[in-house]
Amino acid sequence: MTIQEIREYLGRFFEFVELDGNADEVISGPAKIETAQKGQVSFIANEKYLKHLASTGASLVIVHRSVCVDEFRSRISFLKVADPYSAFVFLLQKFAKPRIVAARGIAPTAVIGEGVSIGEGVSIGEFAVIGDRCSIGSNAVIGAHTVLLHDVAIGDDTVLFPRVSCYDGTVIGKRVVIHSGSVIGADGFGFAPQSDGSYVKIPQMGTVEIGDDVEIGANATIDRATMGTTVIGRGAKIDNLVQIAHNCRIGENTVIAAQAGISGSVTIGRQCMIGGQAGFAGHLELADRINVAAQAGISKSFLQPGISLRGYPAQPMRDQLKHEAMQRGIGALKEKLDHLDDEMKKLRGEA
């Protein structure tokens, strides 16, 4: 791919793409600025990294339109854009080799139930099990060993990697990606305590609905609702080993990092960012665009959009940082108190 071709490709996404360099040079692939070699393209999105221009081997670097590159233009070509990070991401998509999750068509070892509807261009991998009355949208990919119980609906262009489980009734949108080992629609954790100390299982009769453009990492678990639906909103991104309990509603474009755990009946707004290993008590609500720090413990609802939360029990960032500073100040407090005590003793003629 020549630099000129890259420029044209980026022109699909950005109004302004200015070339400063050799349009004909061939670029073989992307690399980090620190390790890039001749023939590779890299990017700088943060001024801190501009220092690497002196030593990088990259033939092409994507930078912000405001960056002055005069010093390096004899050795490096530049493409200038308004958002070099996104530009590089689009370029990665261009260079990424297609990963073969399952061959086109239905593997001869796959088991397809009764009344299954399968769209055009579908790939179903070895030993996949598709339950009765499932529907698989066009161009969807079902990896090897993935199991759909009955009445599961998979949207167009969705990719389930190998070894995913979807329990009965799960509904998955279009262009969804679910990584290996994840379990969608297992029973919510609900048991009614009896007077003898034992528990009676509360039947989990609901389902899970996953919106379009959601991505779910490896070995995550999203439980079905007790009654009704557990909902993952359109565009949400859920990392590995995340737990989402029964009857949760996760808002559109909300991002949840690895190992976070959301208890039952929690509602999280749109465009929130939940840090890794954060935990939520049940039956609470978060407004839109709330940031939750890693390992935070959310014990109540927060209804003001856009705030940041941290700590256990979590509170708004400013309060929590003040709280933490106070705690670090206990030593100074103790010293001041001891000093006052001495003075008091002097005043009273004891010292």
Catalytic residues: 246
Q: Which of 23, 303, 340, 351 binds its own copies (CB under 8 A)?
A: 340
3-state secondary structure of 150: coil
Regarding 269 and contact with its own copies (CB under 8 A), the answer is no
Regarding 259 and contact with its own copies (CB under 8 A), the answer is yes
**230 in Cβ contact with 262 (< 8 Å):** no
Tokens standing for 227? 């009654």
Q: CA 176 to CA 192: how far, in whole Å?
A: 35
Regarding 200 and contact with its own copies (CB under 8 A), the answer is yes
- Looking at residues 57 to 76 of the shown chain, list those that interact with its own copies (rule: CB under 8 A): none
- Four-residue CA torsion sign, 230, 232, 238, 240: positive
- Between 39 and 297, whose beta carbon lies closer to its own copies? 297
CB of 333 to its own copies, least distance (A): 6
**223 in Cβ contact with 204 (< 8 Å):** yes
- Between 245 and 250, whose beta carbon lies closer to its own copies? 245
Stretch that binds its own copies, among 52-60, 63-71, 116-124, 234-242 (CB under 8 A): 234-242
Residues 6+ apart with CB under 8 A from 265: 245, 246, 247, 248, 282, 283
DSSP symbols for 45-91:
-SGGGGGGGGT---SEEEEETT---GGGTTT-EEEEES-HHHHHHHH
Q: CA 268 to CA 251: how far, in whole Å?
A: 6
- Of 221, 225, 220, the C-alpha closest to 204 is 225
Regarding 121 and contact with its own copies (CB under 8 A), the answer is no
Stretch that binds its own copies, among 15-23, 47-55, 70-78, 326-334 (CB under 8 A): 326-334
CB of 181 to its own copies, least distance (A): 5
- Between 20 and 112, whose beta carbon lies closer to its own copies? 112
Regarding 23 and contact with its own copies (CB under 8 A), the answer is no
- Between 26 and 103, whose beta carbon lies closer to its own copies? 103
Q: Under rule CB under 8 A, how many of the chain's residues touch its own copies?
A: 108
Stretch that binds its own copies, among 4-12, 48-56, 73-81, 143-151 (CB under 8 A): 143-151
Regarding 228 and contact with its own copies (CB under 8 A), the answer is yes
Q: CA 222 to CA 210: how far, in whole Å?
A: 10
Q: Phi and psi at residue 49, in whole multiples of 5°?
A: -90, -5
Regarding 218 and contact with its own copies (CB under 8 A), the answer is yes
Regarding 105 and contact with its own copies (CB under 8 A), the answer is no
Specify the amino acid at residue 227: M
First-residue to last-residue Cα distance in the chain: 85
3-state secondary structure of 320: helix
- Looking at residues 158 to 177 of the shown chain, list those that interact with its own copies (rule: CB under 8 A): 161-163, 165, 167-168, 177
Please state at what angle helix 84-95 crosses helix 3-10, rounded to 10 degrees: 110
CB of 100 to its own copies, least distance (A): 6
- Looking at residues 284 to 323 of the shown chain, list those that interact with its own copies (rule: CB under 8 A): 294-295, 297, 312, 323
